[in-house]
Amino acid sequence: MKKRLGFGCFGLSGAYGAAEEATSRRTLDRAFELGITLFDTADSYGVGHNETLLGPFVRAHRDEVVLASKFGMVRTADGKNGGLCGTPDYVRASCDGSLKRLGIDTIDLYYQHRVDPNVPIEETVGAMAELVAAGKVRRIGLSEAKADEVRRAARVHPIAAYEGEYSLFSRDHEDDGVLATLRELGIPMVAYSPIGRGWLSGTLQSLDDIAPGDMRLTAPRWQPDTFAHNRAVSDAVVAIAAELGVTAAQLSLAWVLAQGDDIIPIPGTRTVSHLEENVRALDITISPENLARIAAAVPKDAVAGSRAMGALRKK
Residue 32's closest CA among 13, 6, 68, 70?
6
* HEC sequence for 83-128: EECCCHHHHHHHHHHHHHHHCCCCEEEEEECCCCCCCCHHHHHHHH
SS3 at position 159: coil
Residue 96 lies in a domain: yes
Is the separation of the CB atoms in 32 and 279 below 8 Å?
Answer: no
- Spatial separation of the C-alpha atoms in residues 183 and 279, rounded to whole Å: 26
What's the distance, CA 182 to chain centroid? 17
What's the distance, CA 221 to chain centroid? 17
Is the separation of the CB atoms in 164 and 130 below 8 Å?
Answer: no
Assess whether 45 carries a catalytic annotation.
yes
Taking only the tens of pLDDT, the chain with its 315 residues reads 446 899 999 999 978 877 889 999 999 999 999 999 999 999 999 999 999 999 999 999 999 999 999 999 998 877 788 899 999 999 999 999 999 999 999 999 999 999 999 999 999 999 999 999 999 999 999 999 999 999 999 999 999 999 999 999 999 999 999 999 999 999 999 999 999 999 999 999 999 999 888 999 999 999 999 999 999 999 999 999 999 999 999 999 999 999 999 999 999 999 999 999 999 999 999 999 999 999 999 999 999 999 987 432 333
Range of the domain at 175: 7-196+256-284
pLDDT of residue 3: 60
pLDDT of residue 1: 41
Residue 208 lies in a domain: no
Q: How many domains does the chain have?
A: 1
Residue 231 lies in a domain: no
Residue 112 lies in a domain: yes
pLDDT of residue 315: 31
| Catalytic choice (45, 90, 162, 166) | 45
Is the separation of the CB atoms in 128 and 156 below 8 Å?
Answer: no
Output the domain CATH number for residue 42: 3.20.20.100
- The beta-strand segments (E) located in 176-268 are 189-192, 263-265
* pTM across the whole model: 0.94
- Spatial separation of the C-alpha atoms in residues 52 and 99, rounded to whole Å: 10
